[in-house]
Every structure is written in structure tokens, then in C-alpha cells.
Structure 1
Amino acid sequence: MPTSPLAGLNVLLLEDELLLRKRLAGFLEKEGADVTALGSVADARRAVQGLSFEAALLDVNLPDGRGTDLLREKLFPATTTVIVMTAEGGVAGAVEAIRAGASDYLVKPFDPQELPVRFAQARRARQAKRVDEFRRGQEAELVFGESLAGVREQLLKITTADRRLGHHLPPVLIEGETGTGKTAIARWIHRNGPRAEEALIEINCSAMPEALAESELFGHERGAFTDAKAARIGLMEAADGGSLFLDELPSLAQSMQAKLLTALEDHSIRRVGSTRSISVDARIIAATNSDLNSLVASGRFREDLLHRLDLFRVRLPPLRERGNDILILAEELLARVCRRYGMPVPEIPTNGRRRLLAHNWPGNVRELAHEIERAVVFGGEEGLAFRHLGGDASDLSGAGWLRPGFNFPESGFSLEQAIDELVAKAVQQADGNVSAAARLLGVSRDVVRYRMKTKESAESGK
């Protein structure tokens, strides 16, 4: 027997008619709910302020006020499902309740059996709204600054071409280091193109076992292999009319690369164990953090597949190459994290901004998002100084001025010290060979020797 959607919920029941209140309370309790049954707005107001309710069933007209007053006063959190009850002719009050935040309304008299259905519908609607918010949130992670202006222009050209073509859209190849936002780009292409209302299916190719990859992508017929007890469509077929995002594409075995190429060329697939081809119009968006030309040269990626994928190629620069866009992205991520945790959005201090610009970001946007969330959760405003990322970008120690994001300190800058740092770095790179260091610097050996001698004298005199 399926569990009632009311089972285990704390429910507030507000109804002034004693017999109806008892009847509804008895039904809700049989459904497994923990019911607080009250007959006045005042009692309900006190109960809401002192207890937490997952669901509420409110009468509109009561002796001491209106049940909708509780909604207008915003006494219920957003997680509470509220349904109002109104007598015949009181639909206006129900509409008022919906506007105030109620999930649904029932017109008296009604069958109590409607309650589980209505609460289940309201719960699904709330879940759908949350999914929609989540999707919008995912897209918001893609921040176009000056450094991505070229990428944005390229994406707009792709979606414009998509609308003109309509069907059998050519594949898109996205290149970039791990964590640069390839998945966000794939979602942007899908949601801003003509297939936005259709499915976007995402697959991490490196997470698919080689033995199951063909079945996952193309499906299988019953009895095709030992565990194939029923026919099953593949993910490419499921994405028909929409988009299929293949992340870490080079992880696919060469045999699978060949079958993917055939599917792209013929716009059809064949399930494992079948002799029949099925027409499929799924837009392929592929992503890689590897240099495909190098993989082709080493024999690990099919050259013909690369040519087929290479019509629309998008390259995402690493975060360290995005300059001041790092700060724009950091502020956006900070605002998102603070909204998630219900916290005010602090300002990133000057020294924190300098460290963000100076850091190399090997993990790219994913690493930045992690650092922002860690700063908010564990460090607050102090954490936003990001001291663990390294010294201040304006600090000369360790040749900090060589790093991106350097700012001249207000206390002044020593050009002589900077030259000594450059010479020392060149000598170190040349393994102590003065002539080689001089060639790296474009100066004579005498200049290098003089600088080394002057620095040694200054250090010995300290």
C-alpha cells in the first residue's frame, strides 16, 4: 500500500466548526499526519509562532478574523504547503489566499479524500518550481566578462545558425581545462537555442564503464546480453529532438568513437542486439580538457571524428587568463553563496581582491567557487582576505610583481630590488651559468656579474 503524502507531516488545521474540525482532524490522522486542530486565528497565530508545520489547512472566515491573515503576515515559511478552505461564494477569498502565498484552495463542502491529492499536487508544483530555480541558478554561473566577449559572440553565432537550420544541428566542440565552465557553456547553448524546451542529457564519458558504454548511449534489445531482461532505449535516443552533452569525450574507447561517428553521419543509431536502425535527431555537444590534435597524433582519438566535431569549436580560457573578470566572477559567486545560506553579502576587501588576481587557479572556476564558499562558511569577512592563497599581490617578496594582478604599493616600489630579483631568477633558471642567464635577460655577462656581486655585498653587510 503506497504511503500517503500526508504521512509524518505536522499539519495545522484551522476550522471554527467543531464537527467539521473533528472530522478533518480524524481523517488527517488516519493518513499518518500529526495534527494541531484549532478554531481561532489568534490560537493559530500563537501555534505558528511556536511550532513548525510542513502543511496547513486554513478556513478563510473565522469568528476573530480571516485565515488568510496568517499568510499576509508571512508567518509560514516557504517550505510550508498551505491550502485554504472556503464556503460557496467565497472564491474571491480563495483567490486572495493564492495571491498571498497559498498553494491551493478547496470549496466547501468537499470530500476529505481530496486532501492527499491536493497536498501531493502542491508538493510536486513546489518541487518543479525549485528545479526551475536550480536551472536558472546553473545558468547564472556563466558570467560573461570582457575576457569571454569573443566566446559570447561565437555562442550567439552558433544559436543563430541553429535557428536557421532547425533540425540535424551540427555538433559543438568545447575545449578548456578542467573547471573552466564547459558544462555551463553546453547548458547555455541548449537553453538559448531552438531546442530549449526539449531535453538536455548530460553524460560524463569517463564515468561510463567501457563494457556498458554502447548500451548506455545507443540502448539494447531484450536478450542482447546476459542482464538485458528488457529492451531499453539509449541516452542518445532519449535526447531525440534535444541535446546530448558528452563531457570528457576522449575517454570513449576507439570502437565507441567509430560508432558515435556513424551516428553523427547517418543521424541514426542501432541498439545493441538489433538489426534495425532508428532515426535520431540529437544535437551533440562534446567537451574535452585535452588537446585533441595531440591525441590524434598519438593514435588515441579518431581523426575523422575530430573533423566531424570541428565545425563549431569553442575554446574556454583558463581562469588565470581572464584578468579582472576573476573579480566579477568572484562577486557573483559570493552573492549566490550568501543567498543560499541566507546571509548578507559582504564586500571582498582590497587585499583579498589582490590575492584572487594573483593566484594561479589550477582548478579554474570550480576552485574559485570552492574558495568563495569556504570563505563564507568558515571565515566570514575575515576569510574573504584569502590569506591562505599566498602573499599580497603588492608584496615584492618572491617577485610578486611577476604575477598577474600586481598593484604598486602605496609605500612605493624599488626598481633596483626588482632588477636584482630578475637577475636572480634568470641565474636560477640557467642553473648558475652566467652567460646563459645574460642571454635570457638580453644583457652582457658583466651586467649579471655586477648585479650578483652588488646583491651579495648588500646581504653580507646586513
Structure 2
Amino acid sequence: MGQGNDTSLAGLSVLVVDDEALLRRRLMAHLKNLGAEVAGAETLEAARYKLSDAAFDFLLLDIHLPDGIGLDLIREGSVPATTGVVVMTAQGGVEGAVESIRLGALDYLVKPFDPGLLPLVMHRARQKRQSTRVTEHERESEDGSGFFFGNSLAPLREVLEKIIAADFRLLVNLPPVLIEGETGSGKSTIARWLHRNGPRADEPMIEVNCSALPDSLAESELFGSEKGAYTDARATRQGLFEAAHGGTLFLDEIPSLSPAIQAKVLTAIEDRNIRRIGGTRNIEVDVRVIAATNRDLRAAVASGDFREDLLHRLDLFRLRLPALRERGEDLLLLADRLLAQLCRRHRLPVRQITEEGKRRLLAYRWPGNVRELAHELERGLVFEDSAALDFARLLAEDSQTTAATLDPSDWLNPAYDFSKGEFVLEDATNRLVQIALKKADGNASQAARMLGVTRDFIRYRLHGDRKS
């Protein structure tokens, strides 16, 4: 399960609420010996105070207390959503145990019980809490198990299978994986394929688009925060590293993270623990990190936008996804596969691609790669009335954007003729700025880092665009 030592509760905090002093002290001593941070309370009022004063991972709660029913803590909202509740009940109190589960408790123990059961119960409850956080984060995504490799990606599949074989030998503390490739080339799908074919397929996989995380939220989203850590921190929040414990955390477009957050990611990978914002204790996490980028990380290191130590830590199992235009005839096989899926989705009979359409698909550069291909196929399916698709629009679009694609490999081609007037340095610079802004979702600072220029340069170019 990727949990490491199942008897250890190191890094967890537990509040034990029971009016039987001897039992309470015995449970607290046992939990402390297992590495947990422990506090105790014997009444509802004392429990309320401690729950409001500190964040606990778990609440071990007796149902019958001198000043009321323990379950009232759940009913009245005194127990934060991030605190897992395990109820203790006397023999014959099954009805109360059932009620506690209905109210949201994760498990229950019937007194008297062996304290040795606590690690098993806590780990089981922790998995339930992870599931809740994963569900909160989940988004619809394509199934990566059916990734199309074809002949061109056969070497990549061999490398993936070797990584998976190593994963099954290790099981825990799996090394990170770095996936490089252009936007839309299938990096997310490869990450899902790797997770779903490995030993952690039944564990959570959390996907994070780092370029969509504002700097102000990135730290709390990835590492969590304690109640009161900042103005809006009204409750303890579990971070995505913690939610992915035992599974996989996919960090897409990792260079978008600030250097400070990159440093914390490096520490989490190396030390296998994290600390929430405002927290004072380390939380153990066993997470397989898969990072992806559409940038040259070595160039990003040279420009100061990416930490060299993090690159060296990630660059153990490196995968490069070739651009769609580099996959030869596999492009047509992939197009047929995607088109069949789209026909089923639109409830239409299977459409074919004309020979001219195939030539156009092969001739086009596909700057958006597989994602752009899928969109073009769907547009053709919806808007072309003929029985077979020929993608006439591609021909016009390709001729209009040849000069605007700004692929440096074209400029280095001896056959490229600058004298034709297709290339204008001023226009090319403005076009690069617009492309970078689009990739950065309008974030001028991030676009400046991508291009290795100052933010003022970006602003100047934008101002110039508005004036013209």
C-alpha cells in the first residue's frame, strides 16, 4: 500500500477524549510510543477547547462523557473536517457506533480493545481521509490506459516498462520521473499510463497544473496549511502531497513554480516529509513524483528560472515525448483511432479520411500536437458535410501561419529565404511575446521568465501592441 511501517504513527497528532483516566493515560502512552503527538481530555468542554486551540489529525472519542454525548462534538461542528474521528463505545453500544459512522466518523472500536489495534485503525482512517481530499481535487480526464504508442514510440514503451519493473521491485519510495515534450504531446496521458500500470494503480493519483497555481496559493495547495496560518485559513487543510501519500503526484509544467516552492518540492522529494504552512511538525509522505515540462530545463537553469538541484533530483528517469510531426505514419493511425472515438461520442457513423486529407495531416506542423489533432478531427466531423474528411481548412491555415509559427529550426534551414519578406524581426518579437503570454495564461511575470526577459520588456511590447 506504500505506507511504509504500518505500526508507526510518526507525524500524526491525536486527541484522546475519555473520562476513564486509566484508559486515557494508557492509550496516550501507547500512541506516544508509536511516534504520535498526543493530547487528552475527559469532558466535552475540555475537548471543545483543545479542538479550537490546535489542529489534530485524529480524534479518539468516547461516546459517553460526564457532561454529554461525545457525538455532539460532531453534530455541533466542533470537529474540523480535516480531523478524522474514531469512536470508542462500550459493549452493547453498537447503535451509537452506527450513528457515529452516519455522522461522519471513520471507524469505531468496542471497549475493551487491544491498543495494538490503533495503528491499523489510524492508517485505515487516514486512507479514507485521503480519498475525500482526492475526490475534492479530481477532475475529468481521459483514460491513459489506452495510450497509443505505435511504431514511433516503441522505444519509449520499452523505457516505461523498465521503470515499471523497477517500481514493482521497490514498491516504496519510488524515484521521480521527468517527462519532456511540447504542449499537447501527451505528457499527462503518459503519466497516467505509468501510474495505472505500476504497483500504485489502486492508490490516488493527484494531477496539478503548476502554471495554473498563483504563487500565493501554490504553497498551501501543495503542502497544506494549519488553521489560523493566514487570514483566510479558517480550518486545517490537507495539501496535495499529503493527499497523494502512497500514490502519485503529477506536477505538470513544473518550471512555473516559483524558486521558493521549487525548494520545498525538492525537500519533500528528498526527505519524504512535508510541513504545512503554520505547522510545527513534519508529516511523512511516500509519494511518486512525476514532473512534466514543455521547456528545456537546462536552459531554464542557465537563465535562473529553475533550480539546478531540483533538476538533478528529477532527472533520474527521463522520458522525452517526440512532437506529433516527428511520428511519421503513426500520425495517421492515431488520427483513425481518435476519429473512431469521436464518432462514437457524437453518435455518428464512422467517417473515413480522404487521401488528400491524409496528405494534409502529414504536411501540417501540428504546433498543438495530439490535442490539436483531436480538435481538428472533431471540427471536421461536425462541420464537413462530405462522407469522408479532407481537412481543406488546414491548407489555408498552414499557408497563413507559416511565417508566424516562429520555429527556429525553419530559420536554420539553408533553404529558408529571409529576403522574401515573410520574416520581420519586430513582428516576430511581438508574436513570441503573445505566444509566451498565452502559454502563461496572461501572467506577464511568468511569460518574461519563459523568454528570459524582464517584465518591463513584456509590458513595453504590450503597450506597443495597443498603440499600433
Give the TM-score band, short-chain normalised: 0.5 to 0.7
- What residue is the counterpart of 2:106 in the other structure? none
- Does 2:200 correspond to 1:200? no
Q: From the superposition, tell whether residues 167 and 382 of structure 1 become closer, same or farther in structure 2 (CA, over 3 Å).
A: same
Aligned to 2:417: 428
Which of 1 and 2 has higher RCO (CA within 8 Å, sep 6+)? 2
> Which amino acid is 1:273 matched to?
G
State the shift of 1:429 in Å: 4.6
Pick from 238, 259, 268 the counterpart of residue 263 of structure 1. 268
Counterpart of 2:366 (choices 350, 361, 383) is: 361
2:305 equivalent to 1:316: no
Aligned-partner SS, 2:384? helix
Deviations 1:69-88 (A, max 9, x none): xxxxxxxxxxxxxxxxxxxx
Change (3 A) 1:347 1:230: same
1:290 and 1:426 map into 2 onto residues whose CA distance is 27
Give deviations 1:74-132, integer Å, cap 9, x for gaps: xxxxxxxxxxxxxxxxxxxxxxxxxxxxxxxxxxxxxxxxxxxxxxxxxxxxxxxxxxx
Name the structure 1 match of 2:339. 334
Per the TM alignment, residue 138 of structure 1 is displaced from its structure 2 partner at its CA by 2.1
Aligned partners of 2:145 and 2:193 also within 8 Å: no
Instruction: Give, in angstroms, the shift of residue 431 of structure 1.
Output: 7.6
CA distance in 1 between partners of 2:374 and 2:204 (Å): 27
Question: Who is 2:349 aligned against?
Answer: 344
User: By how many angstroms is 1:324 displaced?
Assistant: 0.4
Partner of 2:34: none
Distance (whole Å) between structure 1 residues aligned to residue 165 and residue 275 of structure 2: 31
CA contact (8 A) 1:334 1:372 kept: yes
TM-score, with normalisation over the residues of structure 1?
Answer: 0.56
After superposition, the CA RMSD in angstroms is 2.2
Shift of 1:275: 1.2
Q: Does 1:165 align with 2:182?
A: no
Distance 1:318 1:150 in 2: 15
Residues 378 and 369 of structure 1: is their aligned pair in 2 closer, same or farther, counting only changes over 3 Å? same
- Whether contact under 8 Å (2:354, 2:388) holds in the other structure is no
Q: Distance in 2 between matches of 1:163 and 1:351?
A: 47
Partner of 2:376: 371
Contact 1:141 1:333 survives alignment (8 Å): no
- Give the counterpart of 1:233 among 230, 238, 243: 238
2-structure distance, mates of 1:267, 1:427? 51
The question of 1:285 aligning with 2:290 is answered yes
CA contact (8 A) 1:179 1:366 kept: yes
Shift of the alpha carbon at 1:348?
A: 1.0
The aligned counterpart of 2:215 is 210
Residue 278 of structure 1: how far off its partner (Å) = 0.5
SS of match in other structure, 1:147? coil
Unaligned 5+ segments in structure 2 are 1-139, 403-413, 422-468
> Separation in 1 of the partners of 2:391 and 2:163?
38
Please tell me whether the aligned partners of residues 352 and 388 of structure 2 are also in contact (alpha carbons under 8 angstroms). Answer: no
Q: CA deviation at 1:377?
A: 1.3
SS in structure 2 of the partner of residue 390 of structure 1: helix
User: What TM-score do you get using the length of structure 2 for normalisation?
Assistant: 0.55
Q: Is the 8 A contact 1:376 1:383 kept in 2?
A: no
Residue of structure 1 in register with 2:255 after alignment: 250
The amino acid of 2:417's aligned partner reads Q
Q: Pick closer, same or farther for the CA change 1:233–1:426 going to 2, 3 Å.
A: closer
Superposed CA deviations along residues 15-36 of structure 1, whole A, max 9, x for unmatched, are xxxxxxxxxxxxxxxxxxxxxx
Distance of aligned partners of 1:140 and 1:348 in 2 relative to their CA distance in 1, 3 Å threshold: farther
Can you give the 5+ residue segments of structure 1 that lack an aligned partner in the other structure?
A: 1-133, 399-424, 433-462
How many pairs align?
Answer: 268
> Is the 2:183–2:368 Cα contact (8 Å) retained in structure 1?
yes
Secondary structure at the aligned position of 2:153 is classed as helix
Looking at structure 2, the residues matched to 268 and 365 of structure 1 have their Cα atoms a distance apart, in angstroms, of 36
SS in 1 for 2:306: coil
Structure-1 residue corresponding to 2:306: 301
Describe the SS at the equivalent of 1:236: helix
Identity %: 62
Q: 1:383 to 1:224 in 2, by over 3 A?
A: farther
Identify the residue that residue 82 of structure 1 maps to in structure 2. none
| Aligned counterparts of 2:356 and 2:364: Cα–Cα separation in 1 | 12
Other-structure match for 1:175:
180
**What amino acid does structure 1 have at the position aligned with 2:156?**
V
